[in-house]
Amino acid sequence: MRDIRVATVQFQHAPGDKAYNLGRVRHFVSEAARSSVEIIAFPEMCLTGYWHVRKLSRAAFEALAEPVDGPCTQELLRLAREHEMTVGAGLLERSPEGQVYNAYVVAMPDGTRAVHRKLHVFEHPNICAGDRYTVFDTPHGCRVGVLICYDNNIVENARATALLGAELLLAPHQTGGCNSLSPRGMKPIDPAIWARRHTDPAACEAELCGPKGRGWLMRWLPSRAHDNGMFLLFSNGIGPDDDEIRTGNAMVLDPYGDVIAETRAFGDDIVVADLDASLLPTSSGRRWLRARRPDLYESLTRPTGQEQDTRRVRFGE
């Protein structure tokens, strides 16, 4: 990997309004291009909208999805070529067989694209789960992996992605402000505090950056980067998303798990950072990868009998 300038975005999508959401993507890609960004990450399902889909009928849910080479992907590829930038954004993908996936398309300036299908899904009764990891080379001299939201909660997913050679992990989310079943997990953001965000910004920042948002992320997100020796781009929604309020806090982490750039804005925003490739070889995670004892790990692939579909354990972090 070489040194590279990256960006990550938080924005409040409009549910079901692909034209509006693509407009926000165009805006931030143009802004990133003025800063010579080479890779930019947008949030999970930001093109189709996210939390409202769980209430859609099967027909409406399937109608919102589109083929992976459909209009949204074609626009991402056009932007990638125009700005010589790799652009990642989330949507609902409809497969040729009619299955619907929570997918993340990464469009590259050479006209190629990679697609990750979320592994741990719960967004709609008819959504399908992906069955493979997504790691690929980019034209920027950087090998990239993708894990969508809940995928990042499972430590094995980050390790498997690193073992496939990922140097940079794109981690698109729609998180924060969720009603976790855990008494010490995330909880809903107080709508009254959000409504007063411009007149009482200190209270709003405390709400978004406390245990309901950033504080929860800091329990585990840095470890995914640190333990596996990867840079990490965290993108997220911000503001109301159906009956939840997303907490934003888009950020970039280095392979030591340190946050090197972030935003605490209460609205749409972009974070730009320069990645220092010299940190990778000597990072703790890279050394630990070399110290592994695979002969001891058979139990990791043996079912315990306690596994549950993510639809039943959405907030079981």
Domain count across the chain: 1
In the sheet where 143-146 sits, what is the strand order? 134-137, 143-146, 168-172, 231-235, 251-253, 259-262
CA angle 184, 149, 67 (to 5 degrees): 150
How far is it, in rounded angstroms, from Cα 14 to Cα 257?
32
Kindly state the helix (H) or strand (E) to which residue 128 belongs, with its residue range: strand 127-128
Instruction: Identify whether 14 is part of a domain.
Output: yes
Burial class (CB in 10 A: 0-12, 13-18, 19+), 315: middle
* Coil/strand/helix, residue 291: coil
Structure tokens at 275: 């990645």
Phi, psi of 240 (to 5 degrees): -60, 135
Q: What was the pLDDT predicted at 123?
A: 95
Find the radius of gyration of the CA atoms of the chain.
19
Domain with 116 in it: 4-312
Mean pLDDT of the chain: 95
Which residues contact residue 263 at a Cβ distance below 8 angstroms, ignoring those fewer than 6 apart? 10, 248, 249, 250, 251, 269, 270, 271
Cα separations (Å) of 213 from 16, 128, 205, 219, 250? 25, 27, 10, 11, 11
Q: What was the pLDDT predicted at 308?
A: 81
74 within 8 A of 39, measured Cβ to Cβ: no
Instruction: Identify whether 228 is part of a domain.
Output: yes
* pTM value surpassing 0.85: yes
Task: List pLDDT tens digits, range 170-220.
Answer: 999 999 999 888 888 899 999 999 999 999 999 999 999 999 999 999 999
Q: What was the pLDDT predicted at 315?
A: 39
- We report the CATH number of the domain holding residue 175 as 3.60.110.10
14 has pLDDT over 60: yes
Phi, psi of 301 (to 5 degrees): -105, 5
Instruction: Identify whether 102 is part of a domain.
Output: yes
Instruction: Identify whether 154 is part of a domain.
Output: yes
Task: List pLDDT tens digits, range 87-103.
Answer: 999 999 999 999 999 99
Q: What was the pLDDT predicted at 152?
A: 98
Q: What was the pLDDT predicted at 313?
A: 55
Residue 228 is given by DSSP the state: H
Structure tokens at 125: 């009764």
Instruction: Identify whether 70 is part of a domain.
Output: yes
23 has pLDDT over 90: yes
Task: List pLDDT tens digits, range 119-168.
Answer: 999 999 999 999 999 999 999 999 999 999 999 999 999 999 999 999 99
Instruction: Identify whether 317 is part of a domain.
Output: no
Q: How confident is residue 312, by pLDDT bands cut at 50, 70 and 90?
A: low
Instruction: Identify whether 106 is part of a domain.
Output: yes
Instruction: Identify whether 151 is part of a domain.
Output: yes
Q: How confident is residue 317, by pLDDT bands cut at 50, 70 and 90?
A: very low
